[in-house]
Amino acid sequence: MIKRLIFFLTIVIGAIPEPLMAQVQSDMKKIKGGIYVPLYGLDSSNVIVDDFYLDTYPVTNDEYRNYLLKNPSWRKTEVIQLFADQRYLNKWVNDTTFSHSFKGQSPITSISWFAAKAYCKSQGKRLPSVDEWEYAAMASENEPNAQLDSVFQQFIIEGYETPKTSLKEIGQSSPNYWGIHDLHAMVWEWTSDFNSVLISGESRKDVDTDRKLFCAGGSVNATALMNYAAFMRYAIRGSIKANYCMENMGFRCASDIIK
């Protein structure tokens, strides 16, 4: 309906009202690319991140419910276990009703990687890569790279110490430099290449380099608290499979910038 209205207004009056255009674009923010050093690049190799769009908020219970109404193959009684284990939407009352202990504007959780990927595809989007997610997540409210900001580091650590953050509603915290909310202090989030940080792809014990990627051993040598938090993210992403569903694992979508 909004797209049709925009088309009509463009033809009739030759312009699109700013509030309406803002509504269309409000679900994503443009992230200007750059260079950063990922923690899994143990040789400190720089990674180039191109410009991309990222959802302003994690996908919510309401949004996922609306998706299920149109896509019955991803309902909890219909989904193939190859794509989602028995914990998929395990707190939902039925196929299209989430638990009354949940809020519609809280992030959807207990979602597999396959389900998250399918949702993003249905929106004409995709999951962000690990590098894109980490690049966007290193921004504080005022700086695109706040890795050395002790206040921001403490904020991240406190977020991991707070219980039941998945029950919080989205958008309650301040946006970061890019206008993105809730990258920290809410839920873990799926990425397109979530287990690519592993050398073996399966085991933490195969090689020494692999073991250093995880909190505990690897984080001992971290130079900043934010690095410790990133080690935790890499550890959880690398220790799960694509059909796993967790009560504190959600997602948001990204998209390329068409040039």
Task: Please name which of 107, 103, 104 lies closest in space to residue 57, comparing C-alpha atoms.
Answer: 107
CA 82 to CA 161: how far, in whole Å? Answer: 33
Phi, psi of 250 (to 5 degrees): -125, -150
pLDDT at residue 149 greater than cutoff 90: no
Answer whether 111's CB lies under 8 Å from 251's CB. yes
Q: Which residue has the tokens 């009056």?
A: 13
pLDDT at residue 209 greater than cutoff 60: no
User: Poorest-confidence range of 13-22, 24-33, 144-153, 202-211?
Assistant: 13-22
Phi, psi of 201 (to 5 degrees): 85, -15
- Residue 75 structure tokens: 């309902």
User: Poorest-confidence range of 41-45, 155-159, 172-176?
Assistant: 41-45
pLDDT at residue 50 greater than cutoff 80: yes
| Domains of the chain, first to last | 1-27 (no CATH), 32-256 (3.90.1580.10)
State the DSSP code for 93.
S
At 42 the pLDDT is: 46
- Residue 65 structure tokens: 């419910």
- Residue 12 structure tokens: 């009739």
Beta bridge partners of residue 250, listed in sequence order: 189
- Full-model pTM: 0.78
- Residue 53 structure tokens: 């769009």
Which tops the pLDDT comparison, 229 or 189?
189
CA 210 to CA 214: how far, in whole Å? Answer: 8
- Residue 108 structure tokens: 């959807």
Task: Please name which of 246, 239, 250 lies closest in space to residue 91, comparing C-alpha atoms.
Answer: 246
Query: What is the arithmetic mean of pLDDT over 213-236?
Result: 52
pLDDT at residue 11 greater than cutoff 90: no
- Average pLDDT value for the chain: 79
pLDDT at residue 202 greater than cutoff 70: no
Query: What is the arithmetic mean of pLDDT over 138-147?
Result: 91
Which tops the pLDDT comparison, 190 or 222?
190
Q: What number of other Cβ atoms are within 10 A of residue 196's Cβ?
A: 16
Beta bridge partners of residue 31, listed in sequence order: 52
Query: Torsion-angle region of residue 110: left (phi > 0), alpha (psi -120 to 50) or beta?
Result: left
Q: What does the buried/exposed string (b/e) look like for 45-65 if buried means 16 or more CB atoms within 10 Å of the residue's CB?
A: eebebeebbbbbbbbbbebbb
